[in-house]
Structure 1
């Protein structure tokens, strides 16, 4: 998303517009004793996370500058020391004052107040890079797309709202204070940028004691980082090992609170609280991650780092990053060579590139970067090795062809063979996991074997466990039992989230103990899986408490369509149909271009046997979002159910055209064409789309069936050839 910049004010500033409290005591008093740490912090992105827009903070050129993007135009200028923008789409012009800067490098964004207490991120950002790098210019956040006012990504829509999308990670003590009933914010923070409090918590008592008698002058970041041990490489070892007491890396929960893709459970972030008591994390599913676990969408660091061998061995953030500047401690390969032997890894025999070249840099092979927000390059923290063979099979990227863009995966494979590099041999469970994540059907025993494999990292196992919801095979409660009681919290969380797979008659017995789990995310997931069953008296008090936590968690996203939609789905499971209808309608009111709200309301009316309302909702949705593949597909299914197949066919075709990545749309389109009697055309359609999904069993089997029906032997042989690839 364009809403987060990891970029950030040189001085702690009190916002007179938002903050109702004085500067946090732990921040304003820190300078007196911790000058060195504060000076370092002032160099950090955290210090520049957000600031009042003035001449000391605005980096962009506001000297009567114009930026254009398709039908959108912005004119930036100054007036009496303040910063303004006249922004228009076609003929509609609005003048807005720039209230805040957001970030600083490699881009700076700007916030404007569009209604009382609600701030939006402008669609144009300032490229802060040097001119030689292509910077010092205004550019649109979606440079290659026309974002019209009816698009969910338009800057006036909820997905570009500061209060809900961005605020809690750019200011200390942020509370969204969203009023669900009034659909408005009264957000406030204790400190405009990310200062001491966000990592250390409120140190007021510590400060008062130190001021009183100078007795306590410690400047330890977190007690957990005072390690009783050392990274040490013994004679003959290539890589250092941790020698000493087991490290307590729990402080990283503070880092993960913002450097992760997650859903909030509460309003705001409490420093030093457990990550799973404040958030439910996104696991490694598509489309956020590639099949091999590399980052794809803007998922930050948590999901990739938890896959890494580094994390498994006890490496933490501040082994590599200075805890106050947040910059890496040592430039170049020296950072990695703190633990990895230079005589082994920093030689052409290992990296096969010229010494000092870009290809000889550790990070360029093992931490390839992805570009987000137009100019922001961020590195993958799973520390993988280049795997062109996986790229060839699953279209995941690799460092070789990402750098040598004029070459293909076969070239990379041949080059690696010439280097005498032994091919990576994955275990069967690891290969099956790749297949599972690529969308291929997998036997239940093979699926469960992935989850049980201790040699696979925990977040990947949890992802596989969560993906049991996509299985078409019946799953016994015995298969889930080990994970409902597992010591690994992510496995308990994933097991709780798929608890609806357990027969309703025994679900309370199987999940009941998780209603009292130490972690809120797990309690909430368990409650969500139990809302539609009879609750025994023994579990009732715990369920009511966890259900309240679930309700609060859903309210945190009530300002956007998904939040209201999830409330509606919960109401359906509680058999509260009047509330469900209300929530679905509220989702449309809050976010009128959110197609899933129309789709679910239409499905609700279908369940209520109200066909006229179904048609009305689909027509309203397609009027607002005509480019929605989901709505075209859903309306087509409605027509099929009502024996109007010929009218449905063009809708299925449009859905497939709008979202070619969804193989289901192509499958149903071909099936519907066959249903009209044109089997030959249906086969041609399948052949035209199956190139994108050569290993899709569903498409291949349909092709075989249609070819057999048409007695088309060449086509039958074609699809049989594809059958051998999965």
Structure 2
């Protein structure tokens, strides 16, 4: 059937009136009247084409009654008069006609959006490859072939492909989400459908008022978008130019509002406040989005990479390389780096070690390797890492050299780099990558090294912040000192990392360290500190609770700002659960499930709410069984369900669900460990296999100890070898105890 859409759901309201009391948006057409050169550059740019109405001047895809096969099913792309339509499978499993209302992006691919009656705008799963046919383009393709189940978050009608929350703030100007929780509908508005002049410069009405009476056409804006460095100078004995002076500007704050991986937490003006965290919660350098050495892994949109770089720390800004209006490079890429890096040194064979004018001789191919996202979109890493094949060989991080020399390995490239640059301090300098890798793989003994990374001012603030964030499972003296110092750091990201990393610190110390952050000048820091302390709410004094309440209220406000998403209500429920307000917690978790039936954590937390409030275990089991199907690929739900059945004495049901958990998360050692313990009374051999698997994937000595202990009881011939292996990772007294037990068992 054909879905009918409301044309007025998304209102394009460019306010052309000039208001004296408060700056308002006037629209890019007004700006173009005076700024013709800039406007001409902007027209047709990625910003201009970020989002457009689905009209011939915007649509790149072939809608000429084209059929595209996927999973042995036919999808159709066609037109009805001036409108563009698709016939694709919806959430009900049936093929229906949907009108394309908007285009999204322009090159190397273009996406398309459908608008529903409830105000939701969703991106269809098929995109148009706009590259040349000779490059494999000019075709339709499925963007997310792994997400074809309607229960997947990234199925096209679900939240992962929702424009109102996921995309709007960066692809349009002055977006107001306007979600109504009571009716579960949107009435999202924007001033301009695309990224217009005022998305970067701010509302222009005050500027118009000013230039009416002044020859100076630059006044009337609060933002300083200039470059931080006006003059670069040569220093004796150096082959790179240095800033004569760095005068902080707001350019990076403006670019980062879209070119970063973040969650929006408010509508506050982070630019005027000179604090990114006043409006956004930044993702730091974590293992889900970056490799251990800081190279990009998931799509992170530049900022997190850029602020790792020496260039960022030395005053280089986006417009040193990119024209802010056309988005193009200001000069050919071969010459960009040579603006500051002396050509006689860095454009020479003695430096790049490749044939002149070859691909290998270009700076970007070694220092800005590309990662392909969305199947065809190649994006360069903006951290300008120096290739470290030695780290790639040890840690499995990407080896830039192998992008071209794919037939080789990192042992080859590491040896070659060492021979080329025998005196290079970079190739031998201490790097945070081995420490991050160790912690990310559960080797918590690296805490002292992690503390050093966090406190080493030679590391950029985002790396120090990311080291602090990784201290979350640690509670030793090293992490305590590092977090305490990080909480007092002048950089907002370092303080944010300290707030995130304090989860395992004991109450008194955690309060002492984080309490000052409850009044931090940056919103993101205040709410992270409040959340960390919330976990200790039952232990806080009345005075401490009173001091904490304003920041906790802000934390709840941040969640309410995103009240169209399940995670926000789950977070609110967590606040109430920690405060023992069980009915409010239950309501919040149920709201989370209603909004996002595939959001697994809400089911787990609701079941825990029933358990902790001493309600019948059957209620926990019922909600977890509901979630097991809705979040069909989540492992935590069957794991929790297994524990619930165990508490009810239903051993077989418990084992079945724990097995399902290990199937859904085969690399989770804890799941295999608990399954092994439960199998002991049912099948000892299978129990040992589970415990062996637990240690194999986790390298947790506790898991190996459980296996050895079980073998002492039931498989005495295997126990000596297990105990010998345990002796390499466990305290001597623990090993000796097992040896005594085995000796007694053999008598």
2: distance between equivalents of 1:275 and 1:401?
36
* Alpha-carbon shift at residue 278 of structure 1 (Å): 0.4
- In structure 2, the CA distance between the partners of 1:417 and 1:447, relative to structure 1 (3 Å rule), is closer
1: distance between equivalents of 2:346 and 2:575?
53
Alignment partner of 1:463 is 2:466:
yes
- In structure 2, the CA distance between the partners of 1:353 and 1:279, relative to structure 1 (3 Å rule), is same
* Alpha-carbon shift at residue 714 of structure 1 (Å): 4.8
* Alpha-carbon shift at residue 100 of structure 1 (Å): 0.6
Aligned with residue 456 of structure 2, among 453, 456, 471: 453
CA contact (8 A) 2:692 2:704 kept: no
1:83-94 matches, within 5 Å, as 83-88=84-89, 92-94=94-96
Alignment partner of 1:563 is 2:556:
no
Corresponding residue for residue 3 of structure 2: none
Larger RCO, structure (CA 8 Å, separation 6 or more): 1
Corresponding residue for residue 231 of structure 2: 230
CA contact (8 A) 2:292 2:433 kept: no
Alignment partner of 1:265 is 2:271:
no
Alignment partner of 1:549 is 2:542:
no
- In structure 2, the CA distance between the partners of 1:675 and 1:478, relative to structure 1 (3 Å rule), is farther
Corresponding residue for residue 66 of structure 2: 65
Corresponding residue for residue 398 of structure 1: 399
Name the SS for the 1:96 alignment partner: strand
- Between 391-400 and 218-227, report the one with greater CA deviation: 218-227
Question: Unaligned stretches of 5+ in structure 1?
Answer: 1-13
Corresponding residue for residue 529 of structure 1: 532
* Alpha-carbon shift at residue 158 of structure 1 (Å): 1.2
Alignment partner of 1:591 is 2:592:
no
2: distance between equivalents of 1:498 and 1:703?
32
1: distance between equivalents of 2:151 and 2:531?
33
Aligned with residue 648 of structure 1, among 648, 654, 679: 654
CA contact (8 A) 2:373 2:379 kept: yes
Deviation digits for residues 697-723 of structure 1 (CA, Å, limit 9, x no counterpart): 565666666666644245556677899
- In structure 2, the CA distance between the partners of 1:536 and 1:26, relative to structure 1 (3 Å rule), is farther
Name the SS for the 1:599 alignment partner: helix
2: distance between equivalents of 1:371 and 1:417?
29
Deviation digits for residues 580-632 of structure 1 (CA, Å, limit 9, x no counterpart): 11111111111112222212212222222331011111211123233322222
Corresponding residue for residue 75 of structure 2: 74
Question: Unaligned stretches of 5+ in structure 2?
Answer: 1-6, 17-24, 732-747
CA contact (8 A) 2:679 2:687 kept: yes
Corresponding residue for residue 130 of structure 1: 132
2: distance between equivalents of 1:229 and 1:292?
32
Aligned with residue 634 of structure 2, among 628, 646, 649: 628
Deviation digits for residues 610-658 of structure 1 (CA, Å, limit 9, x no counterpart): 3101111121112323332222222223334445555434433332332
Corresponding residue for residue 21 of structure 2: none
* Alpha-carbon shift at residue 275 of structure 1 (Å): 1.2
Q: Between Structure 1 and Structure 2, how many residues are aligned?
A: 706
- In structure 2, the CA distance between the partners of 1:721 and 1:402, relative to structure 1 (3 Å rule), is farther
- In structure 2, the CA distance between the partners of 1:426 and 1:650, relative to structure 1 (3 Å rule), is farther
- In structure 2, the CA distance between the partners of 1:330 and 1:557, relative to structure 1 (3 Å rule), is same
Name the SS for the 1:33 alignment partner: coil
- In structure 2, the CA distance between the partners of 1:673 and 1:424, relative to structure 1 (3 Å rule), is farther
Corresponding residue for residue 616 of structure 1: 622
Aligned with residue 486 of structure 1, among 486, 489, 493: 489
Alignment partner of 1:575 is 2:577:
no
CA contact (8 A) 1:254 1:271 kept: yes
* Alpha-carbon shift at residue 135 of structure 1 (Å): 0.8
2: distance between equivalents of 1:550 and 1:613?
29
* Alpha-carbon shift at residue 417 of structure 1 (Å): 4.2
The two structures have a TM-score, normalised by structure 2, of 0.86
1: distance between equivalents of 2:394 and 2:209?
61
- In structure 2, the CA distance between the partners of 1:538 and 1:395, relative to structure 1 (3 Å rule), is closer
Aligned with residue 104 of structure 1, among 103, 106, 114: 106
Corresponding residue for residue 18 of structure 1: 11
- In structure 2, the CA distance between the partners of 1:576 and 1:499, relative to structure 1 (3 Å rule), is farther
- Between 381-390 and 56-65, report the one with greater CA deviation: 381-390
